[in-house]
């Protein structure tokens, strides 16, 4: 029996440190060892010692042929599904021509030519972050992980084929390296098969932007962050699934509408945390602001309002306009929504927001800002899923399906 081995791209130290800092204050899961973080290009389950030199030479040749390219960790997902997660992972953002896929294909061909028989799993670039029992719904964790952003890094500029030891920070991961990739024994990286989580058809991801249907001026465009919030929709209206956070929501709307037909109105429906006991059920937002963007301070420096509060209507779709800073909650008659890129779950942030808002979410402002810029009437409709307190993650996971049914009913009965 030979070695179980894989060829992988290893993020540089600074990227791993950024990810470590992001995960460190988030207990609750057993995160994988940072020294073992890598992006598997191909896995070979049975490699004889006498084939290693040829494997080395062939992978070196592949690495020399590829021009440098940039990568960035972005997005999150779960295998085999969000609802029964066994693995949580970080995704990869790469150029449109997908050079990482090309490199993986080349490495796989090299392994085949060296007689190392790589497995048949389809290449899905990802970095494994945690392993679960398979009995857990990982939606709350994915909402958190999807907010992570890190520096871009470039594949090594060196075209050298010199073999080198891959010790130091990556101790225990790789035994040889080439420009852009490394190979390692699977037993050196924790004893489990790298990339095993790639198998099976039920792969789930929350960072894909998806437009279902066609945008046209006669109908609204319904915008949701997660497909879980739209799973019970029965409608002929187009639906845009943006992913979590302000940037993803704004980019998704701009991409869906840029240069093409505009919808009758934008309707962002989704879940939100309630900041007051009376804020339950479904609410149309009257005012939305960014709770993690200091517009007054920036205005004092630049003389510009680059992220002011936006006035909407709790009764109908209107083109969002600049509004005065929130002076306090508006209650159920004129709800105030605070949008930010952090998942609010108690603590000082919640205490502060309770004095100036009624609800909190992660995408509403971005959709409204896109509507304002494009001149499209917009409405924000939020159903309270949790109290934005310490139990918000668990409460959201347990209640999101019931919330989705209520939101589907609202869309089916209130949008004509």
Q: What distance in Å separates the CA atoms of residue 374 and residue 63, rounded to the nearest whole number?
A: 45
Does the pLDDT value for residue 246 go beyond 80? Answer: yes
Contact 32, 128 (CB under 8 A): yes
Query: How much is the pLDDT for 207?
Result: 42
CA dihedral 143, 99, 47, 49 (to 10 degrees): -120
Phi, psi at residue 307, to the nearest 5°? -155, 50
pLDDT tens for each residue of 62-112: 888 888 889 999 999 998 888 888 899 999 998 888 899 988 888 889 888
Q: Please state, rounded to an integer, the average pLDDT across all residues of the chain.
A: 81
Q: Residue written as tokens 């600049």?
A: 322
Instruction: Look at residue 402 and give its three-state secondary structure.
Output: helix
Residue 63: name the closest of 5, 16, 109 by CA: 109
Is residue 185 scored above 80 in pLDDT?
no
Compute φ and ψ for 153, nearest 5 degrees: -130, 155
Split at pLDDT 50, 70, 90, the class of 361 is: very high
Q: Which residues of 216-246 are buried (b: 16+ CB within 10 A; e: fewer)?
A: eeebbbbbbbbbbbbebbebebbbbbbbbbb
Q: Helices 99-113 and 52-65, interaxial angle, to 10°?
A: 150
Q: Reduce the secondary structure of 185-248 to three states and give it as a string.
A: EHHHHCCCCCCHHHCCCCCEECCCCEEECCCCCCCCEEEECCHHHHCCCCCCCCEEECCCCHHH
pLDDT at 183 over 70: no
SS3 per-residue string spanning 3-38: EEEEEEECCCHHHHHHHHHHHCCCCCCCECCHHHCC
Mean of the pLDDT values across residues 193-202?
33
Token pair listed for 92: 């990869």
Residue 366 confidence (pLDDT) above 50: yes
CB 23 within 8 A of CB 31: yes
pLDDT of residue 230 exceeding 80 = yes
80 upstream amide cis, omega within 30 of 0 = yes
- Of the candidate ranges 1-5, 91-95, 398-402, the one whose mean pLDDT is the lowest: 1-5
- Residue 269's DSSP bridge partners are 381
Residue 326's pLDDT band (boundaries 50, 70, 90)? low
- What are the tokens at 200? 């099976």
Model confidence at 358: pLDDT above 50: yes
Closest CA to 36 of 192, 258, 144: 192
Predicted confidence (pLDDT) at residue 180 exceeds the cutoff of 80: no
Question: Residue 188 has what pLDDT?
Answer: 45
The answer, yes or no, to whether residue 195 has pLDDT greater than 70, is no
Say what the pTM is: 0.53
User: How far from each other are the two terminal CA atoms of the chain, in whole angstroms?
Assistant: 66
Question: For the chain, what percent of residues have pLDDT higher than 90?
Answer: 31
């Amino acid at each position: 029996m030979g070695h179980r081995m894989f060829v992988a791209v290893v993020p540089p130290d600074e990227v791993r440190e950024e990810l470590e800092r992001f995960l460190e204050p988030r207990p609750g899961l057993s995160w994988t060892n940072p020294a073992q973080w890598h992006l598997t290009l191909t896995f070979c389950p049975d490699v004889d010692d006498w084939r290693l030199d040829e494997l080395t030479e062939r992978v070196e040749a592949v690495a020399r042929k590829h021009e440098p390219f940039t990568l960035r960790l972005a997005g999150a997902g779960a295998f085999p599904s969000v609802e029964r997660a066994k693995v949580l992972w970080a995704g990869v953002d790469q150029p449109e021509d997908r050079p990482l896929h090309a490199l993986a294909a080349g490495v796989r061909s090299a392994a085949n030519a060296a007689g190392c028989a790589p497995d048949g799993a389809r290449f899905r670039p990802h970095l494994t972050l945690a392993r679960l029992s398979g009995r857990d719904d990982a939606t709350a964790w994915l909402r958190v992980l999807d907010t992570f952003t890190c520096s871009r890094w470039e594949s090594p500029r060196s075209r050298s084929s010199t073999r080198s030891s891959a010790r130091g920070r990556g101790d225990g991961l790789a035994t040889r390296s080439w420009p852009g990739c490394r190979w390692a024994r699977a037993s050196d990286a924790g004893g489990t098969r790298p990339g095993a989580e790639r198998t099976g058809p039920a792969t789930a991801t929350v960072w894909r932007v998806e437009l279902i249907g066609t945008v046209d001026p006669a109908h609204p465009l319904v915008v949701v962050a997660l497909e879980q919030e739209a799973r019970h929709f029965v409608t002929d209206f187009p639906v845009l699934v943006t992913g979590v956070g302000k940037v993803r929501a704004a980019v998704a709307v701009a991409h869906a509408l840029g240069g093409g037909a505009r919808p009758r109105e934008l309707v962002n429906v989704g879940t939100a945390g309630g900041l007051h006991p009376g804020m339950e059920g479904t609410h149309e937002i009257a005012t939305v602001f960014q709770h993690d963007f200091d517009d007054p301070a920036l205005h004092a420096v630049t003389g510009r309002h680059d992220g002011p509060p936006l006035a909407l209507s709790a009764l109908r779709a209107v083109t969002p306009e600049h509004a005065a800073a929130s002076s306090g909650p508006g209650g159920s008659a004129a709800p105030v929504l605070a949008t930010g890129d952090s998942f609010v779950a108690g603590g000082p942030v919640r205490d502060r927001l309770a004095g100036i808002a009624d609800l909190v979410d992660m995408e509403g402002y971005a959709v409204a800002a896109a509507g304002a810029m494009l001149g499209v009437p917009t409405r924000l409709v939020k159903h309270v899923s949790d109290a934005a307190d310490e139990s918000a993650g668990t409460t959201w996971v347990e209640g999101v399906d019931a919330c989705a049914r209520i939101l589907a009913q609202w869309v089916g009965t209130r949008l004509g």
